[in-house]
Structure 1
Amino acid sequence: MAENEENVNEEQTPEEAAQEAVPEAAASEEPAAEELAAEEAAPEPDAPAEEPVEQLSPKERRRRARSTHTAESRPARSIEERAQARADERKRKAAHRRAYRQKQRERRSGEPRGEAPAVEPTAKGNLKVRQGIVLSDKAGKTITVRIDSARQHRMYKKIVRTSSTLHVHDENNEAHAGDTVRVVESRPISRTKRWRLVEVLERAR
């Protein structure tokens, strides 16, 4: 059998051997072409993205600017030097105060002292005066007076009658129930009394 196979191989012509070699070469070229296509299709690695610019508020920008600024530091001083500097500053301010006070005293002594201007009495204004009938005189130095009023309405021209009750101060207990009296507005004498008795116009019958 082996001898027969060897004979068959020997019987192949050079043309047949060349035809068999062509498909083998084509098969070896196909994987190379596929590799090139895959390399072309593969996406190139992305370029490094630029870092986003940080948006800072004006306050933050000022704070960073202050932190980057380096001020010159003062030379270190000992405790005795600082105490001496404070003492010198106090002496300077004390001298300034003395000079200022001396100047003020000289200016005041040079001005003629005149009498204080007379204070004009303030006007009392128009005090309210009412006339009414005494309802009660039982409380000490206090009477209850009813004030009746009748006015014409501004728009409807109708007579509008109103009545109010006042607590009036009667220092001498002159008025009695039923009397017609005249009262005047005064300073607050108590929590409820804002009026004072002026005179008794008519005694009760």
Structure 2
Amino acid sequence: MQKTAVVMVERVKKHGMLDKWIKYRKKFKAHDELGECNMGDEVRIKISRPHSKTKSWIVDEVLKKNPAVLYQQSKEQASKVGGPRTTTTG
């Protein structure tokens, strides 16, 4: 599943008799050709031809990146450039 992104879609619907708001969740498997999605990203998917038995969606675009992943990537880039290093003594 290297080129597959599992996308969870949440919907909120009001129950008729109980008069409560209920969350419905569904997972879709989408084809991610470029591998640009990470866990926690918000993406837009669109329907396409079937790529496999369970995968018939493709990732259209990444709407919003996960802030935790962005922080980790910037931290790795700073260590490659030779930024300030922290050492721990123990």
What TM-score do you get using the length of structure 1 for normalisation? Answer: 0.31
Q: Residues 32-54 of structure 1: CA distance to partner in whole angstroms, max 9, x if unpaired?
A: xxxxxxxxxxxxxxxxxxxxxxx
Aligned to 1:163: 25
For structure 1, the residue ranges without an aligned partner over 5 or more in a row are: 1-138
**Structure 2 equivalent of residue 194 of structure 1:** 56
Report the structure number with the largest CA radius of gyration.
1
CA distance in 2, matches of 1:142, 1:186: 14
Shift of residue 169 of structure 1?
0.4
Q: Distance in 1 between matches of 2:21 and 2:28?
A: 23
Matched with 2:66 is 204
Identity %: 35
Deviation at 1:167, TM superposition (A): 0.7
Q: Which has the larger strand fraction? A: 2
- Name the structure, 1 or 2, with higher relative contact order (CA <8 Å, separation 6+): 2
Alignment root-mean-square deviation, CA: 1.2
**Which sections of structure 2, spanning at least 5 residues, go unmatched?**
68-90
Aligned length: 66
- Structure 1 residue 178, shift from structure 2 partner: 1.1
Q: How does 1:115-154 map to 2 (within 5 A)?
A: 139-153=1-15
Q: How does 1:1-205 map to 2 (within 5 A)?
A: 139-153=1-15, 155-156=16-17, 157-205=19-67
**1:151 deviation in Å?**
1.2
Instruction: Determine the C-alpha separation between the residues in 1 that align with 2:14 and 2:58.
Output: 28
Deviation digits for residues 164-190 of structure 1 (CA, Å, limit 9, x no counterpart) = 111110111111111111111222111
Residue number in structure 1 paired with 2:81: none
Deviations 1:81-139 (A, max 9, x none): xxxxxxxxxxxxxxxxxxxxxxxxxxxxxxxxxxxxxxxxxxxxxxxxxxxxxxxxxx2
Q: Which has the higher helix share?
A: 1
